Amino acid sequence: MRRTRTARRSAILALAVLLSACGSAGETVESGAPLGGFDPADLECSDSAAAILRSGLPTYDYDPSPDLEALIASSDLVVSGTLNRAMRESGPHSLLTEWTRVEAAEYVVVHGEPGTAADRFAEDGAFLIDASGPDDDPLASPVSYDPAMIRFIAFLNATEPDTPLLVHIEGLHVGCGADPAVPVIQPLPPGVVGSVGDIESAVRAVVDPPSDPSDIDVIPHQLIVSGVEVRANEMASVLTADEVRARYGADLDLVDGLVHVEFIVGESGSCPLGSLSHLEFNRGTRELYPVVNDGDHGSEVCTADFNPHPIVVSISPDDLPSGEVVFTTGPDRPGTLWTGDVSDSSSASLDGPVVRHLAPLTNEGEDAEVRGIIDIEGDCLYLRLDEIGQRFQVVWPATTGWDPVAERLTLPNGDSVGAGDRVWGGGGYTGADSVDRFVDEAAAQRLRACVDDEYGEIAVVNNTIDGIGVVSEENE
C-alpha cells in the first residue's frame, strides 16, 4: 500500500566528498580489493557481482557519513534497480581521466527532485565509478549481468554538465534477491544493513517518513472511476457532476451537491497500481490524497515511466474538514486548493488563474503559433508578446495544473512554468465571444473579464499533451 507520489528532493555536498582524496582529515581506506581469481562469466551472486566493479578502485581519504540521513543529504539522486552491464571508459572529464560506466536495465528513483540529476540519469540509465583499469582489465570489454538476478542501489551526484552522474564513495551496493547487499566501494553508515530492497525501504523512510497517525483522518467517499485509460499529467482537480460525465461517461450515477474530485496519479508500466484503499487527510498539512494498494505484479523493480491512472471520488461536504483543503495526488505534491464551499467545484476549466480546455486531451490541433512570456495578475493569466505590445488570455490544455503555493503551472508534458517564463506551442486565436466552445461558462466569463489586448482575442493552445512547453533552442 502506498500514498501516491513521485520521487523528489536534491542536495549538494557531493563535490567536497568526491574531492576529499586531495587532503581530507578522514579515514584512509584501501578500496581496490584484489579480484582473487574472479571469473567475469560468474556473475550469479552478490560478491562476484561486486568484485568486478571494484577493479581499478583508487585509495580514498574521506570522512564517512555519520548516518543514512547525511549520506542522502550529500546525494543528488538515489536510484534502485537491476544491473545490465559495466565497462571501462576514458575521456574528457573535470574530475576523472578513466572510470567504470555502469548501466541499469530497469530502475526507479528513490530520492531526488525532478530536474537536472533525474533527467540526466533518465537519458541513458548510466552512472560512473572513479576507477582506472589494471593491466589485465576485466572490464576492457563490456561485461553483461543477468538483470533478473543482480540488483543495485546507488547514491549519485551531478558533478559535471552533460555527463553521467558519479557514484558517491559510500553509494553503490549490489545484491541478489533477498541476499544481504555488498558494498562496491565503501560500506553504508552504521546500522544500515540488509538486502537492496531493505536499503531502499530505509531511504524511503528517511525522505518520506510516515505521517503521525494522530494527525491523519480517513475521509468517507464513493469511488466513481478508477484505472481507465486517459491521456493526462499528474494532477488533482475538483469537478462538477456534468464534467465528470463529460470525461468518463454520460451514464455515470452522480449526485449534484457532492464534491467530485479527480486524482490523476502515476503508475509504472511494469508495476500497475492496485485498488484505492482509502482517502487520507493530514490535519497538519491540510492535504487530502488517495492511498492506493500495491498491484499484484510480482516485479521487484519497477520501471520509471509515467502512466496516468485516474481515480474519481465523490465526497459529501459534511465529511470534508472545515476550512481550506488541498486536494493532491500525494503528500508534498502540487494540488488544488478548496476552501470548503461546494460552489468551488463549479468549473473544471478553472484552476487558480489557469483556464483550461473542458474536453479531454486529443491528438489533434491547429498549426498556428502560440507563444509569449507568462504574466499573472490576480485571477488573470496572460501570454505577453513584447514585440507587438500585447498580451493575451490563454486556454491551456485540459490537464494543465496550478500549484497555489509555488504559483506555477504544470503543463501536460511535465514542464513547470511561472511568471516570466517563455513558452511556445501550437494552436490559434479566437474572439472572446467564441470561447464557450472550449471552456465552461464560469471560465468563459473569467476570460472575457480579463481580456487586455486591443483585438479582444483569446489564445487557444492545442489540447494535446505536447501542445505547449518551455521555449527551447529549436523554437527560440
Which residue's entry shows cell 562476484? Answer: 48
Inform me whether the pLDDT recorded for 19 exceeds 50. Answer: no
Closest among 294, 297, 333 to 6, alpha carbons compared: 333
**Mean of the pLDDT values across residues 100-129?**
85
**Do 111 and 7 touch, CB atoms closer than 8 A?**
yes
pLDDT of 322 reads 84
Q: Convert the pLDDT of each residue in 122-144 to its tens digit.
A: 888 899 999 888 778 888 899 98
Distance CA 194, CA 190 (A): 12
- Cα–Cα distance between 172 and 153 in angstroms, integer? 6
Name all domains of the chain by residue range, CATH numbers in brackets: 2-207 (no CATH), 213-346 (no CATH), 368-475 (2.40.50)
Which residue reads 552504521 in cell numbers? 190
Cβ neighbours for 197, distance < 8 A, ≥ 6 positions apart: 151, 178, 300
The answer to whether residue 58 scores a pLDDT higher than 70 is yes
- What would the pLDDT profile of 397-430 be if each residue is shown by its tens digit? 988 888 887 889 989 888 899 999 999 999 999 9
Residue 340's pLDDT band (boundaries 50, 70, 90)?
low
> Of the spans 23-27, 190-194, 372-376, 436-440, which averages the highest pLDDT?
372-376
Q: Please state, in angstroms and rounded to a whole number, the distance separating the CA atoms of residues 294 and 273.
A: 5
Q: How would you class 94 by CB atoms within 10 Å of its CB: exposed for 0-12, middle for 13-18, buried for 19 or more?
A: exposed
pLDDT band for position 476 (cuts 50, 70, 90) = low
Helix (H, G, I), strand (E, B), or coil: what is residue 319? helix
Residue 215 is classified by DSSP as G
User: What pTM was computed for the model?
Assistant: 0.52
Task: Supply the pLDDT for residue 86.
Answer: 92
pLDDT at 468: 95
Q: Which of 415, 329, 422, 319 is nearest to 370 (CA)?
A: 422
